Structure 1
Amino acid sequence: MESNLQKSLKSPGITITAEVMPPRGGNASQTIDTAKLLAGKVDAINVTDGSRAIMRMSSLAVCKLLLESKLEPVLQIACRDKNRIALQAEILGANALGIKNVLCLTGDPVRVGDQPNARPVHDYESVQLLKQISAFNLGQDPTSGLLKDGATNLYPGTAADPNCKNFGSLRKRLERKKNAGARFIQSQMVMSPNVLENFCREVAEPLELPVLAGVFLLKSAKNAQFINKVVPGACIPNEIIHRLENSTNPALEGILIAAEQVKSFVGIAKGVHIMAIKAERSILSIIEEANI
C-alpha cells in the first residue's frame, strides 16, 4: 500500500511537507501537539534525526507517536551514529511500526554539535542506506537469502542542495541516489526561484525525481547572518537580511518571506518542505499566508 506522501507526489497537485524536531527530553507531548496543528494542512511531517549533531529523542519513537495521532510521518535516518546492523534494525523496525516514508541522510558532522568528543560511526552513508532499503523492499537479507517474514514496504527519499556550485558533481551524486532507490527529493533551504528552477531543470527532472523545495523560516537578521556563517552552502541574500533588519516585527516578516517563497516555488517544484527550527508552530501561519 502506498503512503499518502507517495500518492501525493504521483498526483498532479501540490505536495506540502513540514519538519518537527524531537524534544531534548523524554516527553514528546509538546512536539506532538505542535504537529497536530498541521493535520489536514500537510501531506507528511518529517522528524529530524540528531540534526546538527545535537542529542534529541529518537526520530523513530516520535514517528510512532505521530502515527498514533493519525499523522503521516517521514522518518529521517542519519548514518552518523549507527553501524549497519543498527541501521538495518531501525529500517525493519520502522516497517513493523507502519512507518512508510524514510529520508536517508549521511548526517551532520559531530564537530558542529554540542558533544564534539562523541565518536561518529559512518559505517554507511546515504547512498548505501538507500541501497539497503531497496534490498529490504525486495525481501533480500543482507547476508544470505531472503528475509524470513517477507519484504518491507518503504518509500525512500533523499536530500539535495540546489545551491551547490558544481552541478556536474551534484547530478552524478543524485544519479547514484536514484539508482540506489531514491524516489523523491526534499531539498535544503533555497532562497531564489531562479536557483530552484535551474536545479529542477538541469538535475532533478532528467532523473524524474519530484522535488519538495526547502523553505526555511528566518526569525531575524541576526538569525539569517548566523546561518550564512555556519551552515555549509547557505546563501541568504542581503536583500532578505536587510528586509528583516528594517522590519519592526522581524518574526512576522520572516513568515511573510517564507510564504512568498512557498507561492513562488510551487510553480517550479512539485511542492515545498517547510522548516522552522524552534518555531514549528509558525509553519501553519506560513501555509495560511501562502494561501495554498
Structure 2
Amino acid sequence: MISHFQKAIEHKEFLITAEITPPKGGNPERMLEVAQLLKNRVHAVNITDGSRAVLRMSSIASCYLLLQRGIEPICQVTGRDRNSIGIQGDLMGAYSLGIRNILALTGDPIKAGDHPQAKAVFELESVRLLKLIEKLNDGFDINNKALTDGNLDLFAGGAVDPQSKSLSGLQRRFEAKINAGAKFFQSQLITDFDKLDKFMNQIALGFDRPILAGIFLLKSAKNALFINKNVPGVEIPEHIIKRLEKAEKPLEEGMKIAAEQINLARDICQGVHLMAVKKEELIPQILDLANKG
C-alpha cells in the first residue's frame, strides 16, 4: 500500500508536513486535538521520537493513534535508545499497525535531555538505520537471515542540514543517505535561504529526492536568542531578532515570518516541514498567511 505522502511525492506536489510532540504521560488528548486541526491541511504529521532526549510517549504508539483517526503520520525512529534487535522489532510492529513513513535519525545526545543518567545505545546511526530498513523491505534482517513472516514496505527518509559549515561533509552525508535508501529529506531549521538554494543547486540537484525545508515558529526575540544559544548549528539572523523585538505582538510577527519563509521555500525546494513547539494549533493560520502572501 502506497502512503498518501508517497503519492504526493510521486505527483511532484509541494509537500507540507508538520511536527507534533507526543504527550508526556498516558493521555494523548491534546496531541490528537492538534493533529485533527492539521488533518487535510498537511500531507503528513511528523511524530518525534524522544526529541532532545526528553521522555515522551512512544512515537509508534502515537502514530497508530493518528492512523485510527485517518491522519497520516511520519514516524521518527532514532538509534539512540534501542539496539538493533529492538529497532527491528519496533519497525516490524510499526509496519503491522499500518505505519508506512519513517524518518530515520541518529538521535539527540542523552545529556541534552531530562534523563542524563540514562544509558545511550547508538548501535545504529542514521545511515546504518536506513540500510537496515532497506534490508527489512527486501525481506532480510540485519544478519541477512530471511524474514519468515513477510518483508516490510516502509518509505524511509532522512534529515539534512543545508546550513552545514562543511559543504563537502554535507554532500558526503547526503549521498550516503541516498545510497542507504532515503526517499525524502527533512531539513533542520532553515534561516539562511541562500544556503538552502546553494545546497539545492550544488548538491541535491539531479538526485530527484524531495527536500522539505524546516520552518520554525519563533514566538519572541527571547525565544530566538534561546535557540541561538542552545541549538547547535542554528543561528537566527539579527534582523529577525530585531523584528521580533519591535513587534507589538511578537507571536503574530513570528507567524508572519514563518509564512514568508514558506513562500521563500516554494521557489527553492519541494516542500516545508513546520515546527511550532507548544503552538502547533497555529500551523493552519500560518499556512493561511502563506497562501495570502
Normalising by structure 2, we get a TM-score of 0.97
* DSSP 3-state at the match of 1:281: helix
Identify the residue that residue 123 of structure 2 maps to in structure 1: 123
Identify the residue that residue 216 of structure 2 maps to in structure 1: 216
1:282 Cα deviation from its structure 2 partner: 1.1
* DSSP 3-state at the match of 2:255: helix
Separation in structure 2 between the aligned mates of residue 80 and residue 212 of structure 1, nearest angstrom: 24
Q: Is the 8 A contact 2:215 2:262 kept in 1?
A: yes
Q: Is the 8 A contact 2:163 2:192 kept in 1?
A: no
For the pair 1:46 / 2:46, whether they are aligned, the reply is yes
**Taking every aligned residue pair, what percent have the same amino acid on both sides?**
48
One-letter identity of the residue aligned with 2:280: E
Deviations 1:75-131 (A, max 9, x none): 000111111111001111111001000000000001111221111110111111101
One-letter identity of the residue aligned with 1:61: A
- Taking the TM superposition and a 5 Å limit, the aligned residue runs for 1:118-197 are 118-197=118-197
Separation in structure 1 between the aligned mates of residue 22 and residue 12 of structure 2, nearest angstrom: 32
Identify the residue that residue 228 of structure 1 maps to in structure 2: 228
Identify the residue that residue 11 of structure 1 maps to in structure 2: 11
Identify the residue that residue 203 of structure 1 maps to in structure 2: 203
Separation in structure 2 between the aligned mates of residue 229 and residue 143 of structure 1, nearest angstrom: 42
Normalising by structure 1, we get a TM-score of 0.98
Deviates more, 1:52-61 or 1:144-153: 144-153
Separation in structure 2 between the aligned mates of residue 207 and residue 14 of structure 1, nearest angstrom: 17
Q: Is the 8 A contact 2:63 2:75 kept in 1?
A: yes
Moved over 4 A (4+): none
Structure 1 gaps, min length 5: none
Q: Is the 8 A contact 2:76 2:103 kept in 1?
A: yes
Separation in structure 2 between the aligned mates of residue 207 and residue 233 of structure 1, nearest angstrom: 25
Identify the residue that residue 90 of structure 2 maps to in structure 1: 90
Separation in structure 1 between the aligned mates of residue 145 and residue 51 of structure 2, nearest angstrom: 35
Identify the residue that residue 257 of structure 1 maps to in structure 2: 257
1:71 Cα deviation from its structure 2 partner: 0.3
For the pair 1:26 / 2:29, whether they are aligned, the reply is no
Aligned residue pairs, count: 292
* DSSP 3-state at the match of 1:25: coil
Deviates more, 1:154-163 or 1:109-118: 109-118
Q: Is the 8 A contact 2:132 2:141 kept in 1?
A: no
Identify the residue that residue 114 of structure 1 maps to in structure 2: 114
Separation in structure 2 between the aligned mates of residue 145 and residue 117 of structure 1, nearest angstrom: 35
1:144 Cα deviation from its structure 2 partner: 4.6
